[in-house]
Amino acid sequence: MKIFGIFKSLLLVALISGCSTTGYFKVPEGTDLYIYKRPSPVNIGEGGEVTTKPFFWTAAGIPPGGGIPYRLEKNGETLKEGKLRAKFRPASIFWPPFALIYWPMGMNSEITYDLVNDTQE
Cα separations in angstroms, 70 against 13, 26, 35: 28, 13, 4
For 70-115, the pLDDT digits (tens) are 999 999 999 999 999 999 988 777 766 666 677 788 999 999 999 9
Residue 69: its pLDDT value, please?
A: 97
For 14-44, the pLDDT digits (tens) are 444 457 899 999 999 999 999 998 999 999 9
CA distance 104 to 90: 8
CA distance 57 to 72: 22
CA distance 72 to 75: 10
Model confidence at 2, in pLDDT bands (50, 70, 90)? confident
- pTM over 0.75, yes/no: yes
